[in-house]
Structure 1
Amino acid sequence: MSELHHECGVAAIYHLGTQQQDGPVSDLSPPQGPAEISRLMPRMLLDIQNRGQLSAGMTTYNPARQQLIDTHRKLGTVSEAFRLNHRGKCESLMQQYAGCAAIGHVRYATCGKEDESYAQPFERHHLQKHKWFSFAFNGQLANYAQLRDKLLAEDDHHLARATDTEIIMHEISRELSGDRRMPLIDVMRHLATRFDGAYSLALLNAQGQMLIARDPLGVKPMCYAIEGSLLAAASESVALLNLGFQAESIKSLEPGTAIVVNGNEKSGKEITIERFSDNPRRAHCFFEWIYFANVASNMDGRSVYLSRKALGEELALLEDVPRDEDTIVVPVPDTSKAAADAMAYKLGIPSIEGLIRNRYSGRTFIEGGANRKAKAAIKYTPLPEVLAGKRVLLVEDSIVRSTTMRVLISKIREVGRAKEIHVRVACPPITAPCFYGIDMSTISELFAPAFLPVGNDHLAEGKDREAMFAEMAEELGADSVRFLPVESIARAIEKPVDSLCQACLTGEYPTAWGQKLYDIALTAEKSSDDDSTRTYEVATT
């Protein structure tokens, strides 16, 4: 699925200890002490770099600095944005932005342009400290167009950017307007009634208050840990584990819940964890387990690695291709390796790395930019000494647009000289767009819908299903193709099916605006309209 793009990654860290204390107060603190805990932010962002490579940034809080909160954000990877390969320039940045608290972000553009003004965190300056804030956001508002049109219809409003991030910034500002000093948890309560979609966010203001929140459905992940006077949170648990937190300290933030740091420098800081939404429904994005998340992460009590291993075992149960000494399993690096290894073990055949990934080409799913085919072509090198004359069971985590798979099959045949190529996908066919933060907003860009039987919006069973897979194989240039059934996802993740968002598999969306956008996308597809524009950007109220 490496031709897709993910949404973003969010991180936050706060040291609540005495800011004037010299030296580290725990093993987790940097040598410069708790007043410079912000130095750990680039390290955290590196661990969630898999979630976005277009831009990176952080906002820090320092009560001893004239610029109480200050933001650094740049296009490029974390290493590029923070000059990690240049000791002097990196140290200069760390000193300039040193603080006892920080929020950070890595981005791919699912909404908005690919330039620096869209990079996060977004900072809003104000004379009053409680109205001066910065925030980082992961996800997507399905009702972006509705909120945008409503804002523009009021007074003399103007939006500078075509992104839901700016919408969120203005909605937060509206809650803080006037003479009210609304607690941050109440701000989230009000926003939750207006936001339809997926969002996990971290906010930091000039009073030193921090908010870390997860949407009521839990679509987007958010993990946190508290040890002593140190609080840290990130989109994935691996960022906290590698920071030095004990595994038992790391928890997933419950949906509809926020962590708030309150207080001031004189009275001290305190952490509270409180619900801001009573919505009982859950809709965790299943893609987190099968592709997006780092394989070392654990989300909502389920290991990413074990989920992918279980998907491979599901593939093995369906396998019917004749197997002999020339049959091998080859994973598409890297996210399908756990599934491929598990499938091969179950079948009793070797799993071999017949494709070598160029580690410096990036992930075409999260890079940004239009030429996915060219990127896919330089991303993998097939090994003829492994593949020549072999019956290859090529395991991929999913097929969305098919750009990468077409290139791979061609290269494995021509360069690798494989005898047969049988594509095995550790995911059901993607038949519907996503409006919650994955960059697949239209039906026409998807591979599978064109092969669905007429009048059937979902996968057919029995003979029709096999005929459909045969047509897909012919289109891709493979000897055969097989996908997992939808029900295998819940089994592998070990979550109830009604607690997962599987809208891109079933066309059944967990929010009203998600379903409305799907209806718009279906209408555009059936009328042969040009639906190359992202659906949520053109929808109106």
Structure 2
Amino acid sequence: MSELFHECGIAAVYHLPSDEISPLCPDQGIDHVSRLLPRMLLDIQNRGQLAAGMTSYNPDRKQLIDTHRDIGTVREVFRLSHRGKSEALMREYAGCAAIGHVRYATCGQDDRSYAQPFERHHLIKHKWFSFAFNGQLANYDELRDRLLADNDHHLARETDTEIIMHELSREMNGERKVPLIEALRNASKRFDGAYSLVMMNAEGEMLIARDPLGIKPLCYAIEGPMFAAASESVALLNLGFEPESIKSLEPGHAITISKGKFAIQEFAKSPRKAHCFFEWIYFANVASTLDERSVYVTRTNLGVELAKMEREDGRVTIDDDTIVVPVPDTSKAAADAMAFELKIPSREGLIRNRYSGRTFIETGNQRRRAAEVKYTPLREVLEGKRIFLVEDSIVRSTTMRVLLDRLRDRGGVKEIHVRVACPPIIAPCFYGIDMSTIGELFAPPFLPDGQLTEEAQAEMAVALGADSVRFLPRAAISRAVGLSGEQLCQACISGDYPTVGGERLYQVALDNCISGNEGRTYERRDPAISTT
């Protein structure tokens, strides 16, 4: 499987030294705070279902930091369906601090060594650390080639994660003890791309950091002696933190815990913010709040934008046989809001198989087969209806084509008008989403000059098998999220990348597309590459 994707999730928890025992602490005591990690990872399971892992710290254990990781979902990796086995794992890895990770990827799927966190053993405690990462380095190939140029270094895996681990390790070389924040500050000067990371060493020091552009989300909370951080706020909220104590870490900043003391420090200047808009559109849990903006509210705002567009267009008849149908699950909030604004029913005419996973992250043939079993049309709801089918985005169109066929054949739908709560995806993502080439994307052939016209949307409707298709304009995204376009990364819908490395890879992608090269943009890398 040659596609590259790695929308992942990270988490961390720490009970700071204190005479006070946090009410969030497990009944077994401070040394068992690590038990909270699997619960947190379950709440961000939407960000990665391929592998999961945890590293815990316990100063009273021979293995000061110890890592458990494997292929599978959080429930599978931590044996949560088997009380005895799960309890044995929790006892073995009990600690007062822990970091964790959930992962998506396409390569090395059956290889446990790609699961995170990665642990680097060393005789010196401050150089013995564990590390997990969410993101993608757009200059991975440059860093790799530089690292291997002197023949003194070796990469066991072709991953961004291992590159970052080596770069941090190099900063720790020498006899002087280098604080984690200093190692990151120096190494980050060489990083181009998106990254949120968690790190912990055998002295019990912890670091949580967010890249200078804030492309990937990262939230944290501290109440009394209890600290926790995660890719999404829902993991902290469900842990028991009060909503007002949950905050987003500012771009270019890191949280450090050293000698039991909590601090927030800047490690890199933030020239601008470039939050990934796709987090609010699709990836994040609808219950999360990212950078003080609710995912649910954003998606309802998108539905309002869709309704506004429909009223202005006015070409689709709205009568008693017209309903709105969301493509489950991420489109439901937008569909409900659109229906409310148009004063027509929103009906769940499609039932999702909860165990099918996300076809967005499958490869071509697998994606089509998965799409065929992913949704079941309800003929009792759909037969003879004119429907507005609301989808959060169309990337490759495989799922949408299959879905439209099933709605007509199995659902008996009269008309299907596809409404997309996102502009057309016209460019690859080089910051951590599974879109590495222009050729795999649905929209670019219909938009040769990048302009979304009526004619282009009509051609797309024919290609999909819909009666009509409408996409939201880019300006609607800013209004819905509540951030200006300058504060969002919208590279995949604009072709404008916030980093030099992203711009360079986009030029490679354009050249490949013009030359008819079907290979992915990262072809210059080893075929085994897999990121987080």
Q: Which category describes the TM-score, using the shorter chain as reference length?
A: over 0.9
Distance 2:108 2:521 in 1: 12
Aligned to 1:313: 304
Residue identity matched to 2:298: S
Which of 442, 465, 471 is equivalent to 1:483? 471
Q: Which residue identity is paired with 1:298? A: T
Distance 1:147 1:528, change over 3 A: same
Checking the alignment, whether the CA contact within 8 Å between 1:4 and 1:366 is kept in structure 2 is: no
Aligned residues: 521
1:466 lines up with 2:449 in the alignment:
no
- 2:131 paired residue among 130, 135, 140: 135
Kindly provide the CA deviation profile for residues 501-528 of structure 1, in whole angstroms up to 9, marking residues without a partner as x.
0000110000000000000000000011
Distance across 2 between alignment mates of 1:384 and 1:353: 11
Asked whether 1:364 is paired with 2:355, we answer no
1:149 maps to which of 145, 149, 158: 145
Counterpart of 2:426 in structure 1 is 431
How far residue 363 of structure 1 moved from its aligned partner, in angstroms, is 2.2
3-state SS in 2 of match to 1:50: helix
1:86 corresponds to 2:82: yes
SS in 2 for 1:413: helix
1:409 Cα deviation (Å)?
0.3
Deviation at 1:534, TM superposition (A): 3.6
Query: Percent identity among equivalent residues?
Result: 68
Q: How far apart in 1 are the matches of 2:520 and 2:232?
A: 32
Cα distance in structure 2, aligned partners of 1:87 and 1:364: 31
- In 2: Cα distance, 1:183 partner to 1:348 partner: 59
Question: Among residues 283, 291, 296, which one is paired with 2:282 in the alignment?
Answer: 291
User: How big is the shift at 1:113?
Assistant: 5.4
Question: How many angstroms does 1:109 deviate by?
Answer: 1.2
Query: In the superposition, relative to structure 1, how do residues 485 and 496 fare at CA in structure 2: closer, same or farther (>3 Å)?
Result: same
Question: Contact between 1:9 and 1:52, CA under 8 Å: does it hold in 2?
Answer: yes
Q: How does 1:221-236 map to 2 (within 5 A)?
A: 221-236=217-232
Q: How much has 1:278 moved relative to structure 2?
A: 1.4
C-alpha displacement at 1:159, in angstroms? 1.2
2:322 alignment partner, one of 327, 331, 346: 327
Displacement of 1:322: 1.1
C-alpha deviation, 1:533, in angstroms: 5.8
Counterparts of 2:351 and 2:131, CA distance in 1: 39
1:131-530 equivalences in 2 (<5 Å)? 131-263=127-259, 269-319=260-310, 320=314, 321-366=316-361, 371-453=366-448, 456=449, 458-460=450-452, 465-530=453-518
With normalisation by structure 2, the TM-score equals: 0.95
Contact 1:361 1:378 in 2 (8 A): yes
Q: After superposition, what is the alpha-carbon deviation per residue over 1:156-191, rounded to whole angstroms, capped at 9, x for unaligned?
A: 322111111110111111011111211111111112
How far apart in 1 are the matches of 2:177 and 2:253?
A: 21
Q: Once the two structures are superposed, what CA deviation does each residue of 1:269-325 show, in whole Å capped at 9, x if it has no partner?
A: 101100011123110000011111001100111110010000111011111211010
Q: Read off the aligned partner of 2:492 and give its amino acid letter.
A: C
Shift of 1:155: 3.1
RMSD between superposed Cα atoms in Å: 1.7
2:530 match: none
Worse-superposed segment, 56-65 or 150-159: 150-159
- Is the Cα contact below 8 Å between 2:158 and 2:526 reproduced in 1? no
Extract unaligned runs of 5+ from structure 1. 264-268
What's the CA shift string for 1:474-529, capped at 9, x where partnerless? 11111111000011101100001101000001100000000000000000000111
Give the SS at the match of 1:134.
Answer: strand
Q: How far 1:235 moved relative to its partner?
A: 0.1
**Alignment partners' CA distance in 1, 2:60 and 2:384:** 68
What letter corresponds to residue 137 of structure 1 in structure 2?
F
Residue identity matched to 2:414: K
CA distance in 2: counterparts of 1:143 and 1:228, whole angstroms: 40
What is the distance in 2 between the residues matched to 1:276 and 1:14?
21
Task: Report the Cα distance in structure 1 between the residues aligned to 2:17 and 2:145, rounded to whole angstroms.
Answer: 44
Q: Which amino acid in 1 is paired with 2:405?
A: S
> Is contact 1:54–1:368 with CA below 8 Å preserved after alignment?
no
2:104 to 102, 108, 116: 108
Matched residue SS, 2:525:
helix
Shift of 1:5: 5.8
Question: How far apart in 2 are the matches of 1:507 and 1:4?
Answer: 19
Match for 2:65: what amino acid? Answer: I
Q: In the TM superposition, what are the counterparts of 1:65-80 in structure 2 within 5 Å?
A: 65-80=61-76
Whether the aligned pair in 1 keeps the contact of 2:361 and 2:434 (CA below 8 Å) is no
For the residue of structure 2 that corresponds to 1:194, the secondary structure is: coil
Q: Residues 538 and 359 from structure 1, CA distance in 2 versus in 1: closer, same or farther, beyond 3 angstroms?
A: same
The unaligned stretches of length 5 or more in structure 2 are 528-532
**Residues 52 and 367 of structure 1 are in contact (CA less than 8 Å); yes or no, is this contact kept in structure 2?**
no
Q: How big is the shift at 1:538?
A: 6.7
Alpha-carbon separation, structure 2, partners of 1:369 and 1:243: 38
1:391-436 per-position Cα deviation (integer Å, ceiling 9, x unaligned): 0100000000111101110000000010011100000000000000
The letter for the 1-side match of 2:358 is R
**Match for 2:48 among 35, 46, 52?**
52
What is the aligned partner in structure 2 of residue 266 from structure 1? none
Q: 1:489 to 1:110 in 2, by over 3 A?
A: farther
Distance 1:428 1:314 in 2: 12
| TM-aligned CA deviation for residue 105 of structure 1 | 0.2
SS at match of 1:349: coil
Confirm or deny that 1:120 pairs with 2:116: yes
Distance 1:343 1:197, change over 3 A: same
